[in-house]
Every structure is written in C-alpha cells, then in structure tokens.
C-alpha cells in the first residue's frame, strides 16, 4: 500500500523538485518548526543545496535529533512562538546576515487554549509569533521571507474577527485555524507593501503544502477529526517531501513579492508547485493594514525599516 501511494504521489508531481534548488552555499536560512514534517524536509533540502540551516524549535532535544538526520550544515536554537519573550530572545541573539526566513511552524485545530501572553493559541502561534519574529529579524534579512499558510484560509466564512480575535464568544478549533491561516496571507501582503515602500529588495512570499501527511493533524481537538485525518493521510495525502515543494519553490525561485505558491493538482491538494490564487478576504489591502496595526499593538513589535527617501526631480 505504501509503495502504491508513493507511486501515485510521483505521478501527480511536476518535474520540479528539490534537486533543482540553486546553489545556496554561503547563505543562512532559519526554518521555524524544522524538527518534523515539511519543515524538516525543507530544512534538509536547503542544507543539501549548501545553505547553513538554523532549526528554530521549541524542543531543542527533538530539534537536535532531527538536525542529525540532515545532510549539510545545521544548528539548533530554541524558539517558542507561543511566548513573545522567547521570540525576542531568539531575535536578540541573532548576528550577521540572514538570507531566508521560513515561517513554517504552526498548530492546527487545537482545543481552546492560550499562549503565554494570553492570545488564542492558533492565532498567537501561527500569526502573532511569526509576525514578531519577522519584524525583529528583518534588519538582518537579505533575500526573502516565506510564510506557510494553508488552503484553510478558504474555509467557510473565514475572516479576521477584529472584535474578538481570541474567539471567546464563538470558539471552534476549525474557525480559529482558518483565521490564523488567513492572517498569514494578509501579513505577507502587507509586509510586501511595506518592503516596497521602504525601497527594500527583500521579498515576502507565502506557500501552502496542499494536503500533506504530517504530524500536524494529530493534535486536532476532536477524536473523530483525528481519525478522519489519519485515513486522509494514508489514502489521499501526498508525503512531506511533496508537501515541502511549494515552500522550497517560494524560497528559491525568482517570483514577485506577495506571490502565493501551492500544488498544481485538483483543489490544490497535491502536485507540483505553482503560483495559486487566494480568496478576496486574503487579498484585501485595507484588512491587511488593519491586521498589521493590531498585531503591532498586541506584540509591541513594529516594522523596523524606514520608508525610502523620495526621489527629487530636477
């Protein structure tokens, strides 16, 4: 059965794969949540291409065990995205240029709970933690920021509940996850606008893995949901190698800022990486700016780059 599934996955991929990455020798990449799943697969591919890859992980021992399986130059640093003090500590310890930041880590459809700073866990980890990390590291970034979103941003009437970001009045694990993944895309949109206005050459892009079999789904709050996802992982999903391709494509190919990369197959569930669309809600510039302002207020972290000087005409 495993061999049959692998063969089906291969038939659904395009010719682009991780062996086509450019030479990344001399570059440094940070991958959050690199200890498993598509994060680990992406980290391995980047390291094989010559990059020095920093595993930014909550559990350092698990991170070290994962890094030991990677072929290339790695190091492991602690980062808990659900704790803004940890995010600041990670950023404060950074020195030197950073070519690539991959905001990959995430939690999915958890029972209602809060981060150390009091935010709903999925919004706080998937969006606010990465928002703070990106802005704190941005003065060091030389090439691009890739944030991993999800097709979940399309679920139902996914929106940013500005009047109740913690969803206290109407919490559902699915709704909270959809909000956080929509926030990832709006963050990318507004980050690119600010980079452009700053005259920066750094690009912000987003990617989603389609339906990839990872351990992320194992933390869903409902036993029925976990059982359903186990079946989906076995019979429908592509493996983590294919799931990592959109991230790697966004991280290394010459794409416009604010691009969104996902699988090219039916429903963007599987296949080779390509540019994909997003919902109108995920393309709303006004909402993106509002979310950015609120995120600055909640995290205490602002955009660090000054606007570009206007060009004077004779």
Query: Residue 177 catalytic?
Result: yes
What is the C-alpha separation between 166 and 172, in angstroms, rounded?
A: 11
- C-alpha closest to that of 229 among 215, 243, 210: 215
Describe the crossing of helices 173-197 and 285-299 by its angle, rounded to 10 degrees.
100
What is the C-alpha separation between 149 and 153, in angstroms, rounded?
A: 8
Interior/surface letters 266-287, b for 16+ CB within 10 angstroms, e for the rest: eebbbbbbbbbebeebbebeeb
Catalytic annotation, pick one of 177, 211, 249, 260:
177
Residue 7 φ then ψ, to 5°: -65, -40
Residue 143 φ then ψ, to 5°: -125, -70
| Residues of the chain by 3-state class (helix, strand, coil), percent to 5 | 45, 15, 40
Q: Which residues are catalytic?
A: 177
């Amino acid at each position: 059965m495993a061999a049959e599934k692998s063969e089906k996955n291969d038939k659904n991929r395009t010719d682009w794969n991780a062996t086509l990455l450019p030479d990344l020798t001399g570059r440094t990449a940070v991958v959050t949540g690199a200890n498993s799943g598509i994060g680990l697969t992406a980290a391995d591919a980047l390291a094989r291409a010559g990059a020095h890859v920093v595993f930014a992980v909550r559990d350092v021992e698990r991170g070290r065990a994962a890094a030991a399986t990677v072929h290339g130059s790695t190091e492991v640093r602690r980062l808990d995205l659900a704790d803004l003090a940890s995010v600041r500590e990670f950023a404060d310890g950074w020195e030197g240029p950073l070519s690539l930041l991959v905001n990959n880590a995430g939690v999915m459809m958890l029972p209602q709970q809060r981060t150390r700073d009091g935010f709903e866990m999925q919004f706080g980890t998937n969006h606010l933690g990465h928002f703070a990390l990106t802005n704190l590291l941005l003065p060091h970034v030389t090439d691009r920021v890739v944030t991993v979103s999800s097709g979940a941003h399309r679920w139902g009437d996914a929106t940013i509940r500005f009047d109740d970001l913690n969803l206290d009045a109407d919490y559902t694990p699915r709704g909270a996850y959809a909000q956080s993944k929509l926030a990832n895309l709006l963050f990318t949109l507004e980050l690119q606008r600010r980079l452009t206005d700053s005259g920066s050459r750094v690009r912000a892009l987003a990617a989603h893995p389609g339906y990839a079999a990872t351990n992320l789904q194992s933390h869903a709050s409902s036993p029925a949901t976990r059982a359903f996802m186990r079946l989906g992982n076995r019979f429908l999903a592509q493996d983590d190698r294919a799931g990592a391709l959109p991230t790697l494509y966004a991280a290394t190919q010459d794409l416009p800022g604010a691009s969104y990369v996902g699988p090219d197959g039916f429903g963007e569930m599987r296949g080779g990486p390509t540019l994909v669309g997003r919902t109108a809600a995920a393309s709303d510039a006004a909402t993106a700016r509002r979310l950015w302002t609120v995120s600055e207020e909640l995290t205490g972290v602002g955009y660090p780059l000054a606007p570009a000087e206007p060009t004077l005409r004779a």
